[in-house]
Amino acid sequence: MFAIVKKEINSFFGSSIAYLVIAVFLLINGLFLWVFENDFNIISAGFADLNSFFFIVPQVFIFLIPAITMKSFADEFNSGTIEILKTRPISNWQIVMGKFWASLLLIVIALIPTLIYVYTIYQLRSPNSNIDFGTTIGTYLGLLFLAATYTAVGLFTSAVSKNQIVAFLLSVFIIFILFFGFDAISNSFAKDTLLIQKLGINEHFKSISRGVIDSRDLIYFISVSVFFLFITKNRLENE
């Protein structure tokens, strides 16, 4: 599995993909948080916190992560190298997990530079105020679980379609439904709205973002990720 991770990472950084992904991610966040005059601009808001950043990132991930994962298996199928991978002494599960960890690692690398935002907010705060580091750490943890779930979905769509663009669009669609769809559906019901919302990603992400690490939220993210990774493995076995 580690050989797959190394291969994927070398593939990312051997081309412009990794640098482009990291640059676009940081540029979008930087412009919205510090340059553009909008509701997310930290300077214009008049108070120093990272709520705007944590609101933007999950939505940027909806497009960014599928762009990373869309070639994971689609490219292997088109080039025929998937057959070479299958002849090696590794299981289909190891192939899937290798690509999963490699893609997730790239996302983590993209997130690391944003820690400077925490330092900047700390410097901008008024002398008598403090950053809620519990909430900040919780939200970063939530972003990691969110990225893992998005990555699992992206790998599945890449294994389903040999066309990278189709894989990208399908991944964006599924993630969008998982993140926003259940909230929209809950608005149509007078009862059990919270139960319906808890079927979606957004409710669990908001829960972790409050700084409270609830095992139910962690189980949700892990379960959804494992489900998509499992059906991706089955797709490889049936190919």
Question: pLDDT (tens digit, 0 to 9) for every residue of the chain, 239 residues total?
Answer: 778 888 888 888 888 888 888 899 999 988 888 877 777 777 766 666 777 888 899 999 999 999 999 988 988 888 877 777 777 888 889 999 999 999 999 999 999 999 888 888 777 665 555 667 778 888 899 999 999 999 999 999 999 988 999 999 999 999 999 998 888 887 776 566 777 788 889 888 888 887 777 888 899 999 999 999 999 999 888 86
Q: What is the pLDDT of residue 149?
A: 96
Nearest 10 degrees: CA dihedral of 26, 28, 30, 32? -160
Domains in the chain, number: 1
Whole-angstrom Cα distance, residue 224 to residue 49?
A: 30
- Name the amino acid, one letter, at 23: A
Domain that holds residue 188: 2-238
Helices of type H across the chain: 2-14, 17-30, 42-45, 51-69, 74-79, 81-87, 92-111, 115-124, 133-160, 164-176, 182-186, 193-197, 201-209, 215-238
The encoded tokens of residue 134 equal 């519990």
Q: What is the pLDDT of residue 174?
A: 96
Instruction: Compute the Cα dihedral for 84, 90, 93, 94 and give only its sign.
Output: negative
Q: Are 98 and 1 in contact (CB under 8 A)?
A: yes
